[in-house]
Amino acid sequence: MHIQTAAVHTLRDFEHGAVVPPVHLASTFELDRATEDGAYAYQRGSNPTRAQLETVLAALDGAEHGFAFASGMAATAASLSTLVVGDEVLLPASVYGGTYRFVDLVLPGRGVTGRFVDDLGALTDEDFTPSTRAVFVETPANPTLRITDLRRIVELAHRHDALVIVDNTFMTPVLQRPLELGVDVVVQSATKYLAGHSDLLAGTITTNDARLAEAFALAQKAQGGVLAPLDSFRLIQAIKTLPLRLERQQANAERIVAHLRTREDVARVHFPGSYSEEEARIHASQASGPGAVLSFELAEGLDRVAFLQALRYPAYAVSLGGVESLICRPATMTHEAMTPEARANAGISDELLRLSAGIEDAADLIADLDQALEAAVL
């Protein structure tokens, strides 16, 4: 089944001939009085609407198991919940700021160490220690758009009995399918492309590993960061248009990248594969498109604040993946939890701007960027 069809038809045959699933808001469910059996007992453990969403999530990723959480960070935290005292996780230096904060400030209290690596693509066997139990990957990286070879990381990590966890938020299963490349766990901030309208907070995990699935189900029940039924229903509905939205967003981003690269007042434009021909080849081998996020830096002689103030369409806000274009300054907005030194090591300059292309008309977005660039001349 093509992913667009799966997005629409994974769930079918609802009561009364309804073409959309019902919403079960119950916090508790009656059990059989004699056996105490029941498909559901308490919403935190499971809920029919959330279970339907999790079926959709698994279908989209080609996974055996899917889990829905209250936020992307709740999903990321749960994905790392299998680590125990003495374990180490390797991450890219440019990892999302929220993940950096969790690894830097929370995991040490659990006796778990996070080691940030400047370039995951350069990992070798020598980088692994007996304590290394997981590698956490973003590809493309946020916000540098650097690419990591997932097949290579999987082979390397599994040789050392380490899990590979991939944050697939930027690509979604429409453009990149990490589980099919041997990855153990996929997490996403469903707040972004899956929900797609900047009005819903959610996170997801998918896996084919039954043992890990038990751990993630326990994380839901024990830690309680689960997605509510109404939000689960809304995410089911939003996913139905995910491939269509992302197709338009990606087309817009490609046109914007091509245009900005022609302008002398833009010093650098970053997009998947732009760092090197090798990274371009790797990305083409594991993803079916560049996605809809780019980042860039203005040339010397331009005022960043004036540029941002002159923009009409992209909102100056964190997040990405919505139908409306968004622009942000990662150094102070998405990656502010990192020290200046950590940001420098990750290639995140104070002048770097990240743009998430929406579904607006590309010509209007480009014209807006042009007039803002002209307004930014000192």
Please give the positions annotated as active site: 44, 96, 167, 192
In angstroms, rounded to a whole number, what is the distance separating the alpha carbons of residues 116 and 99? 11
Question: For residue 240, how many other CB atoms are within 10 A of its CB?
Answer: 17
**Residue 297 pairs with which residues in a beta bridge?**
268
Instruction: Read off the tokens for 267.
Output: 């010093």
Length of the chain: 378
Q: Whole-angstrom Cα distance, residue 334 to residue 317?
A: 10
* DSSP for 327-362, written as a single string: EE-TTTTTSTTS-HHHHHHHT--TT-EEEE--SS-H
| Contacts of range 164-168, beta carbons closer than 8 Å, 24 or more positions apart | 164/134, 164/135, 164/137, 165/79, 165/80, 165/134, 165/135, 165/136, 165/137, 166/136, 166/137, 166/138, 166/139, 167/76, 167/95, 167/96, 167/99, 167/136, 167/137, 167/138
Beta strand pairing call for 132-138 and 163-167:
parallel
3-state secondary structure of 251: helix
Tally Cβ neighbours within 10 Å of residue 309: 12
H or E segment to which residue 258 belongs: helix 242-260
- Rounded to the nearest 5 percent, the helix, strand and coil shares of the chain are 40, 15, 45
Specify the amino acid at residue 26. Answer: A
- Residue 134 near residue 107, CB atoms below 8 Å: no
